[in-house]
Amino acid sequence: MLKRFVANDFTFRLSVVDLTPTLMPIRHTRSWSPLATEAIGKMMTGAILMASHLKPGQGVGLLIRGEGALKKIYAEAYHTGEVRAYCSEPQLSGFPTVEEAIGGGLLSVTRHQPFQKSPFHGNVPLVGSTLDEYLEHYLLQSQQIRSIMTLSTLWEQEVPFPADIPSSPMNQEKTQPKWIGGYLLEIMPGVEDHVYQELKKHHQVQNSQIRVMLPTLFSKDPSIWASTFFNDHAITEIDYPYSIRYECPCSLERVLRSLTLFEEEDIEAMIQEGSQEIVTCQMCGEIYHISQEHLETVKSWLKNTKAN
Ligand SMILES: [Zn+2]
């Protein structure tokens, strides 16, 4: 679920997302560890928030190449609510924080725009002590946007309004996150810097209260939390007509197309061996069985490309 707002004095715009209903069913089927769930969930939240002010068809991909045990985490989101993610170590545990498991590294941001052949890429080192700060630093460095990013995970004992949380078998698991989401506040261009500094300071002071109150942003009248969250700036909701959903565009045809990266002889060898290949999509877990006939199809594609 995503809501968008603008400050009545046009000092900032804001997006808030509750990823819990989108993430929890996926987490369950993919058996991600609590640590990986938190890392993937926060990256997805960040990508959704950054895509929320783009246009339909546009999207954001976030890739962290960490030097630590968690290695790579990738999340991709589109303005219209589609999101998907991947983590190279989805069963990892034994680290006190996601950031320690990432262990420094690089953040690459891709902006997908329709009708543009090559997407925009930006690379920055991971600067700051939290994922939130890594993304804030990117926005400032690459896009000159002053922002406050809050990516939050609430664990069982912290969730303030259990009635708002969809009940599922995972809710009995003590170690899993029970709420994941966050918000992105972007200062408008031309706004004086002291306004930003005041909002930032306000967030630092109120941080623990804001974290626990985040789930209530979706069920209560936003005007009642303006003082807690936004230093008394009043806000107005802007329409966002899409739902947030985990969607992967993979298909058997795409998997077969990816096999054209091999040489014709390699495919021929696979046919001769009579091998049954199984390909699992890293984003959604879908399993594709590649039959002999499929391999023949790939071989004919490769033949045609050669002929052309
Ligand atoms: Zn997939």
Within the chain, what is the greatest distance between any pair of CA atoms?
71
What distance in angstroms lies between residue 266's CA and the mean position of ligand 1's atoms? Answer: 24
Percent of the chain with pLDDT over 70: 89
Give the lowest-confidence range in 136-150, 180-194, 282-296.
282-296
CA distance 32 to 89: 9
What distance in angstroms lies between residue 281's CA and the mean position of ligand 1's atoms? Answer: 5
The reply to whether domains 2-246 and 252-307 share a CATH topology is no
> pLDDT value at position 168?
44
Region 20-34: what's the mean pLDDT?
Answer: 88
What distance in angstroms lies between residue 45's CA and the mean position of ligand 1's atoms? Answer: 19
DSSP letter at 276 equals -
Report strand pairing: 245-246 vs 82-87: parallel
Region 67-96: what's the mean pLDDT?
Answer: 94
Residue 171 has pLDDT above 60, yes or no: no
Domain extents in the chain:
2-246, 252-307
pLDDT tier, 261 (very low <50, low <70, confident <90, very high otherwise): confident
Residue 238: in which H helix or E strand, if any?
strand 235-238
Give the lowest-confidence range in 64-78, 108-122, 133-147.
108-122
Q: Are 11 and 233 in contact (CB under 8 A)?
A: yes
What distance in angstroms lies between residue 248's CA and the mean position of ligand 1's atoms? Answer: 5
CA distance 116 to 54: 15
What distance in angstroms lies between residue 249's CA and the mean position of ligand 1's atoms? Answer: 6
What distance in angstroms lies between residue 306's CA and the mean position of ligand 1's atoms? Answer: 29
Class of 2-246 in CATH: alpha beta
What distance in angstroms lies between residue 157's CA and the mean position of ligand 1's atoms? Answer: 34
Class of 252-307 in CATH: alpha beta
Q: Are 210 and 158 in contact (CB under 8 A)?
A: no
pLDDT, greater one: 217 or 84:
84
